[in-house]
Amino acid sequence: MGQYAALGDVAGKRVLVRSDLNVPLDGDRITDDGRIRASVPTIQALSEAGARVVVTAHLGRPKGEPDAAYSLRPVAARLGELLERDVAFAEDTVGDSARAVVDGLADGDVAVLENVRFNAGETSKDDAERGAFADELAALADAFVSDGFGVVHRKQASVYDVAQRLPHAMGGLVSTEIEVLQRLTQDVQRPYVVVLGGSKVSDKLAVIDNLLGKADTLLIGGGMVFTFLAAEGHEVGNSLLEQDQVETCRDYLRRSQESGVEIVLPTDVVVAPEFKADAPPTTVAVDAIPADQIGLDIGPDSAAAFAERIAGASTVFWNGPMGVFEFDAFAGGTRAVAQALTEVDGLSVVGGGDSAAAVRRLGFADDAFGHISTGGGASLEYLEGKELPGITVLED
């Protein structure tokens, strides 16, 4: 419990823990409990130290009011299974139910408050509205532990404002995430390879900008690659294309030659006549994409070339799948990259979001990688060189 020294002895204290329990649901069924499992060690440590643990978190993007589809009730039940203890559940975040549940906690007990985003004050851009909600949250606790890495890049009430109102500390999960990100930005072990995928170049502009001065090699796949291929003058058919970013991609390719940072694009892609799981796949060279086809994965030659670059690296960061991994016929590129990361002799980091979902869906164990981040957006913003409000507020 050394890292919570700033809180003093937590036994008997009400400790509000901001966790990241934002998991995918199919109805009431949790389809990937990775974030819940990642939140357990901090909650467990505080409980075992005698704290009365009050967990707050969000799920999805409700519109600032209660919505049964985004209730944390099934998440609280799963947390209880993982902790092997009863977990109390409050029907609201700061109302009568929350106050009654918190008042009923004994030392070591754990409660989960209903979705914090059911309250408009949580995500409000108005400091006063956000602050008023943070006051209500803070009234439920004696101390605050920030452990939701997936939200530390958000200036929200349960992440930022509440830390200004209570004695606070960084949770174990957030602490580990920051340590790993520092290894990706300070005194990096080289060669340093970054693999970027996902659908849109526009989501990755700032991180590409920053990494062109830091990485040795950028491997580009996923839907975003077709804007790069268009920048090279290739026909991309019906593939995802951000026409307004073609010139930006052309500039990146030019800058990479000047900076000595290599940008590697696929040489072949897997195309199909339509975006469907059972659409017939065809592998073509990147300069031979048919005008009536859509690119849905990097091809096998590219996957092998990417894997070879990854295998020779000492540090690898990967964010974004190489193709439509949810469809078996178009999961080959993502599988090859994931497999290569498991064989890295050094630090391999899977950068949260869809990449984390992909490795689990494809059957890889979490411990096969150096680190799987719980926060894709937060990881990217850190690598962009941005300050994360939920981290800076803890550094006083």
Check whether 8 has a pLDDT greater than 90. Answer: no
* Least-confidence region, from 108-112, 257-261, 309-313: 257-261
* Binding residue ranges for (2R)-3-phosphoglycerate: 35, 117, 154
Q: Which two tokens stand for residue 54?
A: 């009050």
Which are the contacts of 29, defined by CB distance < 8 A and separation ≥ 6?
A: 74
Query: What local confidence, expressed as pLDDT, does residue 354 receive?
Result: 83
CB atoms within 10 A of CB 278: 10
Active site positions, annotated: 35, 200, 353, 377
pLDDT confidence of 1, banded at 50, 70, 90? low
Q: Kindly calculate the radius of gyration of the chain based on its CA atoms and give it in whole angstroms.
A: 22
Query: What local confidence, expressed as pLDDT, does residue 167 receive?
Result: 97
Query: What local confidence, expressed as pLDDT, does residue 375 receive?
Result: 85
Query: What local confidence, expressed as pLDDT, does residue 235 receive?
Result: 97
Burial of 260 (0-12, 13-18, 19+ CB in 10 A): exposed
CB atoms within 10 A of CB 74: 16
Check whether 392 has a pLDDT greater than 90. Answer: yes
* Least-confidence region, from 132-136, 192-196, 272-276, 364-368: 364-368
Check whether 353 has a pLDDT greater than 80. Answer: no
Query: What local confidence, expressed as pLDDT, does residue 385 receive?
Result: 87
3-state secondary structure 55-98: EECCCCCCCCCCCHHHCCHHHHHHHHHHHCCCEEECCCCCCHHH
* Least-confidence region, from 297-301, 337-341, 383-387: 383-387
Task: Note the pLDDT tens digit of each residue in 186-242.
Answer: 989 999 999 999 988 888 888 899 898 899 999 999 999 999 999 999 999 999 999
> What's the mean per-residue pLDDT of the chain?
95
Helices 332-342 and 300-311, axial angle in degrees (round to 10): 10
Check whether 394 has a pLDDT greater than 70. Answer: yes
Query: What local confidence, expressed as pLDDT, does residue 2 receive?
Result: 63
* DSSP β-ladder status, 25-26 and 29-30: antiparallel
Full strand arrangement of the beta sheet holding 371-372: 262-264, 217-220, 192-196, 315-319, 347-350, 371-372
3-state secondary structure the chain: CHHHHHHCCCCCCEEEEECCCCCCEECCEECCCHHHHHHHHHHHHHHHCCCEEEEECCCCCCCCCCCHHHCCHHHHHHHHHHHCCCEEECCCCCCHHHHHHHHCCCCCCEEECCCHHHCHHHHCCCHHHHHHHHHHHHCCCCEEEECCHHHCCCCCHHHHHHHHCCCEEECHHHHHHHHHHHHCCCCCCCCEEEEECCCCHHHCHHHHHHHCCCCCEEEECCCCHHHHHHHCCCCCCCCCCCHHHHHHHHHHHHHHHHHCCEEECCCEEEEECCCCCCCCCEEEECCCCCCCCEEEEECHHHHHHHHHHHHCCCEEEEECCCCCCCCHHHCHHHHHHHHHHHCCCCEEEECCHHHHHHHHHCCCCHHHCCEECCCHHHHHHHHCCCCCHHHHCCCC
* Binding residue ranges for substrate: 20-22, 35, 58-61, 117, 154
* Binding residue ranges for ATP: 204, 295, 326, 352-355
The mean pLDDT value for 362-370 works out to 93
pLDDT confidence of 376, banded at 50, 70, 90? confident
Contact between residue 310 and residue 192 where contact means Cβ atoms under 8 Å apart: no
Task: Note the pLDDT tens digit of each residue in 149-194.
Answer: 999 999 999 999 999 999 999 999 999 999 999 999 998 999 999 9
More confident residue, 193 or 377: 193
In order of their start, the domains of the chain are 5-172 (3.40.50.1260), 180-384 (3.40.50.1260)
**Rounded CA gap, 148 and 388, in Å?**
12
- The whole-model pTM stands at 0.89
